[in-house]
Chain A
Amino acid sequence: MDWITKWFGKGQSSKDSAKQRLKLVLVHDRATISPHLIEALKEEIMDVIRKYIEVDDSGLDISLDESGDSVALLANIPIKGLRRNSNPANSM
């Protein structure tokens, strides 16, 4: 009965689902970043943030989130307080 669904245009050919599934899985496959790189990225991001905000380093969490059809860089950075003078040019 496959052809009926095709005839009415509701069905998807198997090659289309192959392509769709592959594209999705490759987004995830390609997003594997080495722990070393994540660590370096974390340090640099934190250096910038520390200029403006007092942060709690122990509660810090930076990771790649792979949900749905996209990959996102998620950073959870607990804030202790804002710096009184948050203009980095002045504080230096």
Chain B
Amino acid sequence: MLSKVIVITSGKGGVGKTTTVAHIGTALALMGRKVAVVDADIGLRNLDIILGLENRIVYDLVNVIEGTCKLNQALIRDKRVGNLYLLPAAQTRTKEAVEPEQMKALCHSLRETFDYVLIDSPAGIEGGFRNALAGADSAIIVTTPHVSAVRDADRIIGLVEAAEKGIPKLIINRLDIEMVKKGEMLDQDDIVDILSIGLLGIIPEDPAIVTASNRGESVFNNDKSKSAEAYRRIARRIEGEDVPLLDLDDNHSFLGRLKRILTTNIG
């Protein structure tokens, strides 16, 4: 297959870009694809600790770009998910250590080996974001249902389009279905209406994500996790499959509905 280089970005920090990259990367690898996840947040390395690979770093992205080591020396293979490789960010350098042209060249070399290259972009709209965007074919925007994140997402969508990377796809992260039902949180229809881009998936608020990242594992080990299923579906959509959105509401029983009516009016 023709390899795809996708940047995952958001504008606002803390919306879950790194967790999203880790899980989509893992899901695609579990589907048998060869995947490289690239941490482009130079100086604020984090994808390694989310994936539980922090103790195995020898070389990093800046070492590769400066020619200190070969690309395959810096790539860390995830032992639990054989097809998944991490290219870690440099921790003791700054974003100025990398130029957009160098990122393009790096992505070009990664294409030779991998089906998917997922780039974890830093927050912001400055140099680090420009570098992360440079080598990508397309972009995925991550937002949460909070006004600040949606506003920043809109700004980033404009920048991605201006860079001629096409219209990005949207992932809504940390949707709290109970708050949505009470009318106290923007839902997917509101957010899609405001941002007017296509929805790639919705990740529900899920404590299992915190537990998994504490351990440096993915949520795919947890059979009951709704977010795991949401990530799997996103991976399948990236593969071109037409997969329905996950039903996040499991309160369909009579009692559940009654409780909902009562809490809406009392709470």
Contacts and interface: CB of A to CB of B under 8 A. Distances in A.
Interface string B126-158: 000000000000000000000100110011001
B151 A15 contact: no
Contacts of B265: 3, 6-7
B194 A23 contact: yes
Interface residues of B, number: 20
Given A3-B267, A15-B184, A15-B186, A22 B150 contact: yes
A25 interface: yes
A16 B264 CA distance: 15
A16 B47 CA distance: 35
A29 to B, nearest CB: 6
A36 to B, nearest CB: 14
B154 A18 contact: no
B1 interface: no
A47 B189 CA distance: 45
Contact of A3 (B180, B190, B266): B266
Contacts, number: 44
Interface in B186-216: 186-187, 190, 193-194
Nearest to B146: A18
Interface in A25-84: 25-26, 29-30
B240 interface: no
Range, interface on chain A: 10 to 19
A26 B147 contact: no
B187 A15 contact: yes
B199 to A, nearest CB: 16
A30 B186 contact: no
B244 interface: no
Contact of A14 (B184, B194, B267): B184
A26 B194 contact: yes
A22 B183 contact: no
Given A3-B267, A7-B265, A15 B190 contact: yes
A25 B267 contact: no
Interface string B162-200: 000000000000000000101111110010011000000
Nearest to B195: A26
A6 B183 CA distance: 11
A26 B151 contact: yes
Contact of A22 (B151, B180, B266): B151
Contacts of B186: 15, 18-19, 22
Given A2-B267, A14-B185, A22-B151, 18 more contacts: A6-B264, A13-B183, A13-B184, A14-B184, A15-B180, A15-B186, A15-B190, A16-B183, A18-B190, A19-B186, A19-B190, A19-B193, A21-B147, A22-B186, A23-B194, A25-B151, A26-B154, A29-B151
Interface of B: 147, 150-151, 154-155, 158, 180, 182-187, 190, 193-194, 264-267
Ranked 4 nearest A-B pairs via Cβ:
A13-B183, A14-B184, A19-B190, A18-B147
17 contacts: A3-B265, A3-B266, A3-B267, A14-B183, A14-B185, A15-B184, A15-B185, A16-B183, A18-B186, A19-B190, A21-B147, A22-B151, A22-B186, A23-B194, A25-B151, A26-B151, A29-B151
